[in-house]
Amino acid sequence: MKKFVNDPKDFVAEMLQGLALANPDTLVYVPECNLIHRADAPRADRVSVIQGSGSGHEPAHVLTVGPGMLTAACPGDVFAAPPVDYVIETIRRLASPRGVLLLVNNYTGDRMAFEMAQELAEAEGIEVRTLFVDDDVAVQDSLYTVGRRGVAGNFFVMKAVGAAAEAGASLDELVRIGEKVNAATRTMGVALTACTPPAKGTPLFELGDDEIEFGVGIHGEPGRERRVIASADELVGDLVAAVATDLAVTAGDRFALMINGLGGTPISELYLAYGIAHRLLTNRGAAIARSYVGEYCTSLDMAGLSVTIVRLDHEITELLAAPAEIAVRVF
């Protein structure tokens, strides 16, 4: 294994320490429960929006805490749901009279932790709602999931809900918005290589020198099929066809289009892929009104990418365009 790591069991804690040191004025790190939260949270006049998941998907979700995005993120260890006691402690610390919204990608382990924590929090008198994200069209059930998996499309739910929460929306209103964005969003990805979790030290699965996993999950779960590597036109074309068919893309529709890198793919290749996807969708008569190219939800060092489309209406467009602020600094 060639990674920047000390003792693998400290990997997540040391990453979060670095994040906190880089953002001393805006973020608070609570080591006891792997919690990163906005320094100005909770606020009595705003719903707190919290996401948890396994680590290894950064920038999701610890790097997306900030005004107009998440109020807090409580990650588990790499590819492991956060323990229930971390989640309940997070909810307690971020509880607001306006309520708490939990965003959870649809994996069985995460569902269990968050549903149990919600029950405990409600018993303590905290109003909590939970939104499950399931944008991955690759497979119906999967290695760690009943139903569709939640992957990079989670970004759009988080951005829209975060913007609305920042503007003072109620908990009911946030649930409505989040469900609507999730229903408008589809993703599918492809892995060119496996990823290597620090504590394992070897690749999570085996891929031959010319093999790819088409429809891969963000924890390396199997997708639709093993294939031989092909041209970017063919790979991206097949991903676009999958999401466009599932969302029934028709001429005249307006979309946000995201090419999400899975961790080990350079942004040059992501822009090349973006051009292909953009042309294919506009060839179908769709308009691309917002574009996203980069890393939003990764799988450690996996080479690969996913394509996400979101059908836009006026409300979603406004929420995606609203100002936000997160730790990731590009200039």
259: helix, strand or coil: strand
Catalytic residue among 37, 61, 219, 278: 219
The structure tokens 């979309």 sit at 255
**Whole-number minimum distance, CB 25 to a second copy, in Å?**
11
37 annotated active-site: no
Measured between alpha carbons, how far is 163 from 155 in angstroms, rounded to an integer? 12
57 annotated active-site: yes
Catalytic residue among 57, 61, 278, 314: 57
Summarize as ranges the residues that interact with a second copy (CB under 8 A).
Answer: 2-6, 11, 14-19, 21-23, 55-56, 58-59, 63-64, 68-69, 159, 192-193, 210, 212, 229, 231-233, 235-236, 263-276, 278-279, 288, 291-295, 298, 300-301, 303, 305, 324, 326-331
**Whole-number minimum distance, CB 292 to a second copy, in Å?**
6
CB burial of 46-73 (b: ≥16 within 10 Å; e: otherwise) equals bbbbbbbbbbbbbbbbbbbbbbbbbbbb
Tell me how far CA of residue 27 lies from CA of 17, 37, 48, 66, 71, in angstroms: 11, 6, 15, 8, 10
DSSP string, 281-295: HHHTT-EEEEEEEE-
Residue 323 · residue 279 · CB < 8 Å: no
**Whole-number minimum distance, CB 4 to a second copy, in Å?**
4
Q: How many CB atoms lie within 10 A of CB 202?
A: 9
305: helix, strand or coil: strand
**Whole-number minimum distance, CB 329 to a second copy, in Å?**
6
Residues belonging to the active site: 57, 219
